[in-house]
């Protein structure tokens, strides 16, 4: 196998940038086309050779799109170092950004209903294809009974429900068949689904909801499918022989998505899609800057939603390439003289921003300045520009406050709070005219994960009677796992305090959102009062 490189304009922005698009479906193709139309050099990796349709590229012969196969990736945002394959050549290529736009994998739910596919038992997708190829009259007769099975044993995604409701309504309103819609819990949250449901009912569709017991299904003696069910409205058993049964489907991540996520060090959600359930990643971000998720790679979407996502992620990629996608962040640096190369920072960093080499280095373009690495470094070799937690602790507890307001002699409370959540909530509290409790001092940190066990213990060592550690809610941390790491460190300190005979209630670990000003004011006041009632530490 020959190893070579093909030329591009090199790293940079705009027409000088190179972007790798991974995925073979319509969403990936649209993104590749959009970026190429913007003058971006696009490397398009649809999957393994022969598995994906690339005939659309015939129309794009003059555009800067090159089909490749993904092998591996290293490096960081703006300088991803790819190992790719083209024909029989192995290619080493610098890439500025990546977009993962794999289509999701659709699986029929025949097993959920205890039935097998057959000439008159088909999936939702099969019916859609048949109705697109031929008219409804050729498929059904007005006397046919068509039963739609939706979400008996598993909750059906709104996208699937809407597709089923659309077909059900079209058949019923067109007089092509008598339709029956069997469901446990009908999800109509997608746009227009509630309207479709009401229109289908008005046209004559019979909706059967079986929340307590699912119908039983068996082959009928004279063909068709026998369905026995209990109607909850009339509290009576019924039987129906359906001429046709349409089975719903569930969506799974592409089989390629798991290996890709592992290779690119990306977080996934509980279902395996390449976007954790973190609100800060909506719409197309991942835990790594410069890597974007779109379409079926990040969740279950309709065709229209995937098309909109392709437009959206194109704008996000262009903003990244032009460095307008985020504000300037504090620089995080490793003191090479103090670093013992223990790799703790490498293991802790949720953004894969640490470069492992002869000397450890933090890549500024990939770093989110969360400080998780700084708090975890056992050698204290990592510093965040402008963040001095230990100094802030000493200042506030030694009464060197800017407003010269002495703390209450009854209590001294330190509150560690994230700049994105607790700080914002405290600002809202101040805007309402509610002062901090006497003797309480707020220490702002970039993330809850910036607070180490040593910081919490240092607060007590410097005279704090109580300490609050305020983190973001689960899946609401800008640093992905900073809140979880902070809570683990807090639990460790609780164990240390217990072994030293210190009351556990002197350390409070709580979650605060930026808009929880009223709740935060109450928590602060309650905690300060409780600490004031404890024996002086």
Per-residue pLDDT reduced to its tens digit, 243-283: 999 999 999 999 999 999 999 999 999 899 998 778 888 88
CA 438 – CA 529 distance, rounded (Å)? 10
- Report the share of the chain in percent with pLDDT over 90: 63
324 contact partners, CB below 8 Å, separation of at least 6: none
Question: What are the residues facing 252 on neighbouring strands?
Answer: 105
State the fold for domain 330-386. Alpha-Beta Plaits (3.30.70)
291 contact partners, CB below 8 Å, separation of at least 6: 77, 97, 98, 99, 100, 264, 266
Per-residue pLDDT band for 55 (boundaries 50, 70, 90) equals low
CA 269 – CA 449 distance, rounded (Å)? 21
Does the pLDDT of residue 314 top 70, yes or no?
Answer: yes
Question: Model's pTM, two decimal places?
Answer: 0.86
CATH code at 388-533: 3.40.50
Count of all residues that appear for the chain in the document: 537
- For the record, the structure tokens of 461 come out as 């060592």
CA 270 – CA 266 distance, rounded (Å)? 13
Nearest to 161 by CA among 135, 191, 140: 191
- For the record, the structure tokens of 60 come out as 């794009």
- For the record, the structure tokens of 36 come out as 């190429």
CA 504 – CA 90 distance, rounded (Å)? 59
Q: What is the mean pLDDT of residues 59-73?
A: 80
Q: What is the pLDDT of residue 409?
A: 54
Residues 2-104+253-321, CATH architecture: 3-Layer(bba) Sandwich (3.50)
The reply to whether 106-250 shares the fold of 2-104+253-321 is yes
Does the pLDDT of residue 370 top 90, yes or no?
Answer: yes
DSSP state of 185: S
> What are the boundaries of each domain within the chain?
2-104+253-321, 106-250, 330-386, 388-533
Residue identified by tokens 């092998």 is 71
Q: Count CB-CB contacts under 10 A for residue 377.
A: 22
State the fold for domain 106-250. FAD/NAD(P)-binding domain (3.50.50)
Q: What is the pLDDT of residue 400?
A: 44
Question: What are the residues facing 207 on neighbouring strands?
Answer: 181
Q: How far apart are the first and last CA of the chain?
A: 71
């Amino acid at each position: 196998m020959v190893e070579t490189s093909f030329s591009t304009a090199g790293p940079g922005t705009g027409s000088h940038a190179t972007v790798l698009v991974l995925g073979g479906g319509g969403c990936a193709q649209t993104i590749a086309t959009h970026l190429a139309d913007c003058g971006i050099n696009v490397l398009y990796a649809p999957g393994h050779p022969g598995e994906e349709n690339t005939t659309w590229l015939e129309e794009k012969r003059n555009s800067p799109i090159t089909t490749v196969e993904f092998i591996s990736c290293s490096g960081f945002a703006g300088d991803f170092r790819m190992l790719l394959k083209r024909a029989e050549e192995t290619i080493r290529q610098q890439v500025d950004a990546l977009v993962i736009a794999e289509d999701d994998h659709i699986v029929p739910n025949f097993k959920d209903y205890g039935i097998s596919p057959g000439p008159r038992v088909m999936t939702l997708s099969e019916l859609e294809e048949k109705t697109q190829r031929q008219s409804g009259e050729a498929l059904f007769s007005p006397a046919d009974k068509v039963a739609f099975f939706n979400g008996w044993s598993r909750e059906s995604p709104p996208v699937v429900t809407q597709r089923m409701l659309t077909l059900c309504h079209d058949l019923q309103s067109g007089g092509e068949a008598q339709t029956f819609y069997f469901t446990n819990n009908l999800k109509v949250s997608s746009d227009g689904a509630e309207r479709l449901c009401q229109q289908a009912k008005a046209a004559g569709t019979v909706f059967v909801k079986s929340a307590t017991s699912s119908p039983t299904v068996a082959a009928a003696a004279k063909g068709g499918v026998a369905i026995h069910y209990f109607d909850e409205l009339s509290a009576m058993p019924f039987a129906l022989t359906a001429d046709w049964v349409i089975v719903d489907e569930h969506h799974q991540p592409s089989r390629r998505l798991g290996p890709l996520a592992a290779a690119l060090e990306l977080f996934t959600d509980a279902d395996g899609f390449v976007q954790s359930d973190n609100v800060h990643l909506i719409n197309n971000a991942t835990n790594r800057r410069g890597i974007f998720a779109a379409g079926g790679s990040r969740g279950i979407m309709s065709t229209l939603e995937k098309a909109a996502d392709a437009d959206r992620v194109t704008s996000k990629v262009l903003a990244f390439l032009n460095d307008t996608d985020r504000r300037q962040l504090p620089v995080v640096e490793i003191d090479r003289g103090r670093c013992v190369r223990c790799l703790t920072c490498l293991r802790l960093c949720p953004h894969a921003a640490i470069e492992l080499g002869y000397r450890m280095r933090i890549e500024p373009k990939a770093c989110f300045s969360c400080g998780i690495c700084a708090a975890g470094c056992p050698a204290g070799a990592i510093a965040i520009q402008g963040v001095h937690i230990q100094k802030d602790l000493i200042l506030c507890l030694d009464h060197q406050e800017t407003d010269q307001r002495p703390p209450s002699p009854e209590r001294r409370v330190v509150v560690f709070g994230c700049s994105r959540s607790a700080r914002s909530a405290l600002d809202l509290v101040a805007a309402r005219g509610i002062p901090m409790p006497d003797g309480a001092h707020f220490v702002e940190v970039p993330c809850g994960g910036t607070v180490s066990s040593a910081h919490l213990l240092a607060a007590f060592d410097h005279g704090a009677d109580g300490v609050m550690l305020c983190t973001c809610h689960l899946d609401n941390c800008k640093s992905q796992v900073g809140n979880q790491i902070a809570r683990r460190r807090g639990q460790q300190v609780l164990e240390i305090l217990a072994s030293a005979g210190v009351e556990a209630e002197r350390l409070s670990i709580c979650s605060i959102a930026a808009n929880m000003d009223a709740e935060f004011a109450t928590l602060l006041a309650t905690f300060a009062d409780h600490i004031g009632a404890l024996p002086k530490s």
